[in-house]
């Protein structure tokens, strides 16, 4: 069968590549065309557009790049129709993908499947109407989404979480790896490590990295290491590092997490990845107009938490220092507890174990591929 996939950022590229690998195992004649990244390209098929040319976040960047975004969307729609796939598979990235879904559903008879539901339970709940209208099959990776969609009379398929797969695959492939090897490969010091995961987008790094670096100055017995985002260059990080000589490692986020003693993490998939590696963490995310943003979060958004860890646990497992709670002093206080308060740290690790149980076994990509092929075969 022919599959057209659309992923607009690094996490979508990772999960898209794993899904492609799983589809190939079940469909010997699988043919791919896609918008994605290097990981998807490694699975074979034709890369139409790299996600680094598509990732615009926030009102102003979107406005400034509106022509590019509209051009990308038109190109995507044309490529889908030209390829004539058996199915269009959209991966998260809702602002772009929902418009693509609407166009394809109203102009063709190509079935539209969505892998990794957008977080409409947090805000823009009205988008569920668009899913019901333009998306034939929704594949969810978060267990609580099943009940959310049920109240909207929209049946979805929970397939497990692909981050569990990604971490399990990493552990299997790096069984022989050691901290000593990691340290030597990257010319690091022989000190315990604090991992800094400042986000994957330029604005996130600009906002969060300087404060993170300021925090770790107070922990001289530890070496801070920055996880470099795959789509960004070293020079961009250096603009926000001041006089810090902190090391940056690219393409090694999982290795970094495996050997870290604590982590400072912006919200997103990285909070769950950190939990799956059982690394104590604090979530820190700087926002503009922090008091107004926090008011909006409490009064407009339909969620109690910003991190996947807390959302899955349905309780506060990791501290979320964002908006009006984001400060160097608050983050420093939390890092001190993560490093030196054994009872506090062990409680967090115990909750991680419960989250891992909730998510279930690895195999999300295989289950998603199986659902896709079964539903297409029964059409």
**Is the pTM here over 0.85, yes or no?**
no
**Residue 344: φ, ψ to 5°:** -60, -45
Q: Are 105 and 132 in contact (CB under 8 A)?
A: no
Can you give the pLDDT at residue 62? 52
Residue 364 pLDDT grade (very low, low, confident, very high; cuts 50, 70, 90): very high
Look at residue 60 in the predicted model and tell me its pLDDT.
Answer: 47
Same domain assignment for residues 276 and 369 = no
Residue 59 has pLDDT above 50, yes or no: no
Domain count, the chain: 2
Residue 135 sits in the same domain as residue 266 = no
Q: Which tens digit of pLDDT belongs to each residue from 204-230?
A: 999 999 999 999 999 999 999 999 987
Residues in the chain, overall count: 379
* 48-52, 77-81, 85-89, 253-257, range with the lowest pLDDT: 48-52
Could you tell me the CATH number of the domain that includes residue 42? 3.40.50.2000
Tell me, yes or no, whether 208 and 275 share the same domain: yes
Shared domain for 81 and 126, answered yes or no, is yes
Instruction: Render pLDDT for 92-115 as a digit per residue (tens, 0 to 9).
Output: 888 899 999 999 999 999 999 999
Long-range contacts at 151-160 (CB < 8 A, ≥ 24 apart): 152/128, 154/128, 156/117, 157/371, 159/364, 159/367, 159/368, 159/371, 160/359, 160/360, 160/361, 160/362, 160/363, 160/364, 160/367
Residue 190 structural domain: 166-359
- Checking if the pLDDT of 141 tops 90, the result is yes
346 and 370 within one domain: no
323-360 tens-digit pLDDT: 999 999 999 999 999 999 999 999 999 999 999 999 98
Do 215 and 95 fall into the same domain? Answer: no
Q: CA-to-CA distance for 272 and 164, rounded, in angstroms?
A: 9
Q: Cα(249)–Cα(255) distance, rounded to whole angstroms?
A: 10
């Amino acid at each position: 069968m022919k599959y057209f996939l659309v992923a607009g950022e690094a996490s979508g590229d990772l999960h898209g590549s794993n899904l492609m690998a799983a589809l190939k195992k079940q469909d010997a004649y699988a043919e791919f065309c896609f918008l994605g990244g290097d990981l998807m390209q490694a699975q074979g098929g034709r890369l139409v557009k790299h996600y680094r040319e598509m990732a615009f976040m926030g009102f102003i960047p979107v406005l400034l790049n509106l022509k590019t975004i509209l051009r990308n969307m038109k190109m995507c729609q044309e490529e889908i129709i030209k390829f004539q796939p058996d199915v269009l598979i959209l991966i998260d990235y809702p602002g772009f993908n929902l418009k693509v879904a609407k166009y394809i559903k109203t102009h063709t008879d190509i079935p539209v499947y969505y892998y990794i539901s957008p977080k409409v339970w947090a805000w823009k709940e009205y988008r569920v109407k668009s899913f019901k209208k333009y998306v034939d099959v929704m594949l969810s990776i978060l267990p609580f989404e099943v009940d959310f969609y049920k109240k909207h009379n929209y049946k979805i398929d929970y397939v497990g979480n692909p981050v569990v797969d990604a971490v399990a695959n990493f552990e299997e492939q790096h069984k022989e790896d050691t901290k000593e090897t990691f340290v030597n490969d990257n010319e690091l010091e022989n000190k315990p490590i604090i991992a800094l995961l400042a986000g994957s987008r330029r604005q996130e790094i600009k906002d969060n990295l300087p404060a993170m670096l300021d925090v770790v100055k107070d922990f001289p017995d530890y070496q801070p290491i920055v996880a470099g985002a795959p789509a960004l260059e070293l020079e961009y990080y250096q603009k926000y590092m001041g006089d810090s000589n902190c090391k940056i490692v690219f393409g090694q986020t999982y290795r970094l997490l495996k050997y870290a003693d604590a982590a400072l993490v912006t919200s997103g998939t990285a909070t769950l990845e950190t939990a799956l590696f059982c690394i104590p963490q604090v979530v820190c995310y700087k926002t503009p107009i922090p008091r107004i943003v926090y008011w909006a979060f409490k009064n407009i958004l339909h969620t109690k938490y910003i991190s996947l860890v807390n959302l899955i646990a349905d309780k506060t497992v990791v501290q979320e220092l964002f908006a009006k709670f984001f400060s160097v002093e608050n983050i420093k206080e939390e890092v001190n507890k993560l490093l030196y308060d054994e009872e506090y740290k062990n409680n967090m690790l115990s909750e991680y174990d419960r989250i891992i149980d909730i998510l279930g076994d690895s195999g999300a990509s295989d289950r998603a591929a199986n659902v896709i092929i079964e539903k297409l075969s029964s059409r």
